[in-house]
Chains A and B, each alone.
Chain A
């Protein structure tokens, strides 16, 4: 597979994940789409960057994604126990 087709895969994946992030209402799903977006970025990095450096970055990004998922899940659990719902439109604490 050439670098360009890999970049295309990454782009398609990112677009789908972003569309999913914007359209779904549940916080858990939003977190999952977020992870997908990160993975799309990872693919782009490996595809377009210089060989060794980009692979090292990709490994670091796995670690960051894992940490982010952990934090996100912890937040979601807290929110779930506080609001008894995980639908984004029902949680409006940020209203200005």
Chain B
């Protein structure tokens, strides 16, 4: 293990941290806009270079020993329990680190153009660098505790960046909502971690790094907690954390609101990287989940439901970013579906391709919004094909990739997931997945058609975005088109060198693939047909109830508001605030003690009336009493 010590690893993390420090401390005063943006992007580029170097060194290692480690210092040391601030670079974290730094770098470059002229320019890049630092800490962590630090850190940066324009109370509220919703999930994650370490310590295992966790996880199988097997309970708690961070039902509600942040942030944090942390966590702890088939089933069904549910909501959204937000929720559902079916590599594959095409779509949407001077309603766009030719082509690439057109990246990963789900989850889950694929094709086509094709509905002239924005998009476009094809076999050999690959495609798989392709294409066709104003209006008239329900996102926010937030507010206000805080703490403890000493002082002040003879009398009485008690 010592032989794998690799000091280069820390620089992957330190570069973005340095970028954060420089931009955060010196940015506004000394760097200004131009240098600040360059420093921000450069920091990520350095991280990317180091990640690529580590990656090539990793490839040079023998297949069965592909692991690089770097320990910074001993972080926690309490008796027999000790945790190091340690990082590891194995195939899984290598893929994640490359995706994170690569996509982040492109988005940083894009942001240089997008955020041009914003008052908080340097603050923006500082936050973005800090985010990348925490995200890398999350994916490179060698034990769940360091991972948790990254987990919380990306949540913090997400909050800071959603509420980046904090002068707008609505945006600040969106940031708060994301943070609080994530806290709910994080509580589950933390409980899972505590349970894991406590039960392992109970069995005499104090090491927390992933390697010894994997070795010792089977010890847990014989333990039951509250009538449930320990691995199942731990996995469910950790998965609850993942539903918060990765926006799965029931905690997905924050992600659509998170679109209040700047669009590159949506692309980076809320599409490509942070929201995939849950998927990564599952893949990282796959040995634990494999001990808990029940938990895996829950993961798969949750993912399936979320994918379907979010896709239905995305069908009727007006706001271009909201469509993409619900699409992200839905695609994340796919990843969890794959993880739940035990196909962790497939979920990581989809994670990577999704990072490419969804980041591309978000950046494209940002380019459109930028070009339309802040307009986000798709019904006020239309006909932008001529005015924004580059964006048109690039979003077109992203659209075809996500819709699952054969040969493009979305097709490979989605098809693989559906195949695995069919093997492990049965026809029902698979059917829901195929339906979701059709709907995905539908809403992305709808987005594309409403934005770029047909007649122009908006007023004012749109303009094409600058090169700093279109260039990163072009790179992502290439990745979205070709990434799936390039990665499809290599990634699996890299991630699971021991497993056998390319086992003969059975005819069933080919048939399944055909069905999902047909579903995707029919979704595209349906979207072209149904977005015609006449048919859309007819459909709306035919089913007003359903339209209303879907349009209002199934009233989930309202239901949560009524069932959870309102009672919580009531209890907080009446019991916690008025009774405990204002009544008990302020009233009795703070003001009460002050009042008591004030009253006592007032009574005692009467004694000190300034008359010498009275003083002498009291003194004499005191002496008499002392004599009386002494004798």
Interface residue? A18 (CB, 8 A): yes
Interface residue? B609 (CB, 8 A): yes
Q: How far is the CB of B627 from chain A (nearest CB, A)?
A: 12
Q: How far is the CB of A14 from chain B (nearest CB, A)?
A: 11
The residue of chain B having its C-beta at the shortest distance from the C-beta of A18 within the complex is B620
A88 touches which of B605, B608, B612 (Cβ 8 Å): B612
| B615: A residues at CB distance < 8 A | 94
| A21: B residues at CB distance < 8 A | 616
The residue of chain A having its C-beta at the shortest distance from the C-beta of B612 within the complex is A88
The residue of chain B having its C-beta at the shortest distance from the C-beta of A21 within the complex is B616
Interface residue? B544 (CB, 8 A): no
Which size bracket describes the interface of A in this complex?
10 to 19
In the complex, are the beta carbons of A88 and B613 less than 8 A apart? yes
| B612: A residues at CB distance < 8 A | 27, 30, 88, 91, 94
Interface residue? A49 (CB, 8 A): no
| B620: A residues at CB distance < 8 A | 18, 22
The residue of chain A having its C-beta at the shortest distance from the C-beta of B609 within the complex is A95
| A94: B residues at CB distance < 8 A | 608, 610, 612, 615
Interface residue? A51 (CB, 8 A): no
| B511: A residues at CB distance < 8 A | none
> How far apart sit A25 and B617, CA to CA, in the bound complex (Å)?
12
| B611: A residues at CB distance < 8 A | 88-89, 92
The residue of chain A having its C-beta at the shortest distance from the C-beta of B619 within the complex is A22
The residue of chain A having its C-beta at the shortest distance from the C-beta of B607 within the complex is A96
| B610: A residues at CB distance < 8 A | 91-96
| A93: B residues at CB distance < 8 A | 610
The residue of chain B having its C-beta at the shortest distance from the C-beta of A93 within the complex is B610
> How far apart sit A27 and B108, CA to CA, in the bound complex (Å)?
89
> How far apart sit A92 and B610, CA to CA, in the bound complex (Å)?
4
Residues 41 to 96 of chain A near chain B (Cβ within 8 Å): 88-89, 91-96
Q: How far is the CB of A78 from chain B (nearest CB, A)?
A: 15
Residues 575 to 631 of chain B near chain A (Cβ within 8 Å): 605, 608-613, 615-617, 620
The residue of chain B having its C-beta at the shortest distance from the C-beta of A19 within the complex is B620
B608 touches which of A18, A22, A95 (Cβ 8 Å): A95
The residue of chain A having its C-beta at the shortest distance from the C-beta of B621 within the complex is A22
| A interface residue numbers (CB < 8 A to B) | 18, 21-22, 25, 27, 30, 88-89, 91-96
| B interface residue numbers (CB < 8 A to A) | 605, 608-613, 615-617, 620
Beyond A30-B612, A92-B611, A94-B615, 5 additional contacts (C-beta under 8 Å) are A21-B616, A22-B613, A30-B613, A89-B611, A94-B608
10 example contacts (A-B, Cβ-Cβ < 8 A) are as follows: A22-B613, A27-B612, A88-B612, A88-B613, A89-B613, A91-B610, A93-B610, A95-B609, A96-B605, A96-B608
